[in-house]
Amino acid sequence: MPAQIIDGSALASTFRERIRARVQALIGRGGTVRLDAVIVESGDNAAKVYAENQAKTCNTLGIEYKLHRIKSLPDHPVTFDDIAGRVLLLSSDDTVSAIMMHLPLPEGVDTYKVQRLIAAEKDVEGVNPANIGNIVYGRSSLAPCTALAVIKMIEHVVAPGENGLGSAAAAAPMLRGKTAVCVGAGDVVGKPIAVLLMRHDATVISCNKYTPDLASVTRRADILVAAAGVAGLVTAEMVKPGAIVIDVGVNRVKGADGKNHTLGDVAFEGVSKVAGHLSPVPGGVGPMTVAMLLNNVVEAAERRQTTGR
Amino acid sequence: MPAQIIDGSALASTFRERIRARVQALIGRGGTVRLDAVIVESGDNAAKVYAENQAKTCNTLGIEYKLHRIKSLPDHPVTFDDIAGRVLLLSSDDTVSAIMMHLPLPEGVDTYKVQRLIAAEKDVEGVNPANIGNIVYGRSSLAPCTALAVIKMIEHVVAPGENGLGSAAAAAPMLRGKTAVCVGAGDVVGKPIAVLLMRHDATVISCNKYTPDLASVTRRADILVAAAGVAGLVTAEMVKPGAIVIDVGVNRVKGADGKNHTLGDVAFEGVSKVAGHLSPVPGGVGPMTVAMLLNNVVEAAERRQTTGR
């Protein structure tokens, strides 16, 4: 029997509906929901387009969107201090509940140093290290969006009733007795995913490019997450029949037709004959990641309303 | 051939000598090394004795020790605000480079909320969630002392030349191609150990009490860390011949003689015939954990001197 496809676009759409309802409820209780985004503008760049689309999406969900522009001019280039100051200002502003920083930052500015200045409870991208630490320690937390997308997609399969109920860290463990394997141990995606899987009480195996006999490890996986950044790395014979397979890979590969294609880390056609559930690329983790940012925005606003901070 | 015993007391002693030398070097460069410890005093308690011993140990290593006492009286019990205020004061004081909080805190005070107020770069116990997050993200960081002790003991076996060179997070990966299994996924010890093992590029398997067929998992381990809190859980048939086995368990068990004994999670006698290296309980991770706190104290002071913060 072929795998059921986990449709990330459809699931993201469901989440957006829930987010819209939560925003309305929050406004009904006298609250506000706003995303404050910071962007460094230096001529044309992709972030600008992304920010415009983000503004539109927020608008359709009832979320206010405020874009803070920092201009970088050839003879007055923006420095770390300029950006850090702006982030600190937003972090300490009581009217701000959700902050994101558009990338890339100008050359020479340490992105990590900027991100750790975002107040943890407003850090809707989950990039402040305190947020991943809070997940390790089992505290309610804003998880990194890609890792959260993966967890929500697994949840959609194994515990569909739970979707959208609270944060990744606070959710009830759903993977007891299951073996979850994450192929790829990068700092931004692989390691945070492994931590979130531990949070859900799975037996977690974190693999990297040095793992010997990878196939013998992945074949143990009830849940298999491919986050290695290698097109087609996970093939059918590496997958346990019936496993849930989530493909995080986004690889641009030139095809025989000379055009660029986006391929995942999973060899889709073969694996779809073995896996029980499989997320495609594109249309899987990608759209869910975008939705998770907005999920974190409404969650941060809800939490502020509850705690009064 | 019986396992080589990893003597935690001897290794801790080696570390103390190195710490003493680093302290002297730092003072020679015009720096200071001090540990600021906060204690809530409510009559007699074990923390007081611990603090006195700590003062003595610091003294022998040339580390200043300053104990900040907060008195809790029956009719004026100490509140969260009292403790939090003191911690914030130390966190923002430029003359302070290392802070620790003696436990337990009074009933009703959330320990975690206090710990997250300790400035990450002064948090020598590694209990601020930002510090474990920094480890996930591969940044120089002060690691939780027990987890750091485990890593340093592994390092002593696999890369003995590296000992004491910088922080856990910044150290060069030493476990590429190795499989490391951590039995026990508690928030304070098991999960942080798993994260540190990932940092060293091991293939990491995090097991918990729901893991099916635990023995088949542990037998894959080149490095096996037992941190489940169950006396004698890891038996000889669960260990791969030649493996490095680190026992984090501290279980108080009443023996046939009616007396309390301290037992590890590893069935020592049997496992010592199979493992290549084995740390005992007591005399293994325990004394190393105490030494790691002081290691973090000197590291925090060194880093402040280097960065000027």
Which residues of A are less than 8 Å from B131 in CB distance? 129, 133
What pLDDT does residue B138 have? 82
The shortest C-alpha distance from B172 to chain A (Å) reads 15
Q: Are B133 and A129 in contact (CB < 8 Å)?
A: yes
Per this entry, what is the length of chain B?
A: 309
Q: Do domains A26-124 and A143-286 have the same CATH topology?
A: yes
What pLDDT does residue A308 have? 60
Name the residue in chain B with its Cα closest to that of A196: B191
3-state secondary structure at position A309: coil
Per this entry, what is the length of chain A?
A: 309
Euclidean distance between CA atoms A69 and B143, whole angstroms? 37
10 Å CB burial of residue A216 (0-12, 13-18, 19+) is exposed
Domain boundary assignment for chain A: 26-124, 143-286
Select the residue from B198, B220, B223, B307 to test the A interface by mutation, using most A Cβ atoms within 10 A: B198
Contacts of A65 (CB under 8 A, 6+ apart): A34, A35, A37, A54, A55, A58, A59
- Domain at A26-124: CATH architecture: 3-Layer(aba) Sandwich (3.40)
Supply the mean pLDDT for chain B: 93
Name the residue in chain B with its Cα closest to that of A174: B210
Euclidean distance between CA atoms A19 and A13, whole angstroms? 10
What pLDDT does residue B1 have? 73
- Which neighbouring-strand residues pair with B263? B251
Are B36 and B305 in contact by the 8 Å Cβ rule? The answer is no
CB atoms within 10 A of CB B50: 15
Residue A217 C-alpha from the chain's centroid: 25
Among residues A309, A300, A307, A283, the alpha carbon closest in space to that of A33 is found at A300
What pLDDT does residue B49 have? 86
Q: Are A195 and B138 in contact (CB < 8 Å)?
A: no
What pLDDT does residue A18 have? 95
Which residues of B are less than 8 Å from A131 in CB distance? 129, 133
What pLDDT does residue B172 have? 82
Q: Are A133 and B132 in contact (CB < 8 Å)?
A: yes
Are A188 and A227 in contact by the 8 Å Cβ rule? The answer is no
What pLDDT does residue A298 have? 97
What pLDDT does residue B165 have? 44
CB atoms within 10 A of CB A246: 31
CATH number of the structural domain B30-121: 3.40.50.10860
- The tens-digit pLDDT sequence of chain A (309 residues) is 799 999 999 999 999 999 999 999 999 999 999 999 999 988 767 778 889 999 999 999 999 999 999 988 888 889 999 999 999 999 999 999 999 999 999 989 999 999 999 999 999 999 999 999 998 888 878 999 999 999 999 999 998 876 544 455 456 899 999 999 999 999 989 999 999 999 999 999 999 999 999 999 999 999 999 999 999 999 999 999 999 999 999 999 998 899 999 999 999 999 999 999 999 999 999 999 999 999 999 999 999 888 765
| Phi and psi based region of residue B39 (left: phi greater than 0; alpha: psi -120 to 50; beta: remaining) | beta
Q: Is the pLDDT of residue B192 over 70?
A: yes
pLDDT range class, residue B163, cuts 50, 70, 90: low
What pLDDT does residue B19 have? 97
Q: Which residues of B touch A (CB under 8 A)?
A: 112, 116, 120, 128-134, 136-139, 176-177, 185, 187-188, 191-192, 194-195, 198, 201, 203-208, 210-212, 217
Q: Is the pLDDT of residue B148 over 60?
A: yes
Q: Is the pLDDT of residue B154 over 80?
A: yes
Which residues of A are less than 8 Å from B211 in CB distance? 177, 179, 203
pLDDT tens per residue, range B233-289: 999 999 999 999 999 999 999 988 999 999 999 999 999 999 999 999 999 999 999
Which range in A43-57, B105-119, B160-174 is most confidently predicted, on average pLDDT? B105-119
Q: Are B194 and A204 in contact (CB < 8 Å)?
A: yes
Report field, pTM of the whole predicted structure over 0.90:
yes
3-state secondary structure at position A139: coil
What pLDDT does residue B166 have? 47
Euclidean distance between CA atoms A112 and A115, whole angstroms? 5
What pLDDT does residue B162 have? 62
- Residue B116 tokens read as 């997250």
Q: Which residues of A touch B (CB under 8 A)?
A: 112, 116, 120, 128-134, 136-139, 176-177, 179, 185, 187-188, 191-192, 194-195, 198, 201, 203-208, 210-212, 217
- Domain at B141-287: CATH architecture: 3-Layer(aba) Sandwich (3.40)
Q: What is the mean pLDDT of residues B212-227?
A: 98
Fold classification of A143-286 (topology level): Rossmann fold (3.40.50)
pLDDT tens per residue, range B82-105: 999 999 999 999 999 999 999 999
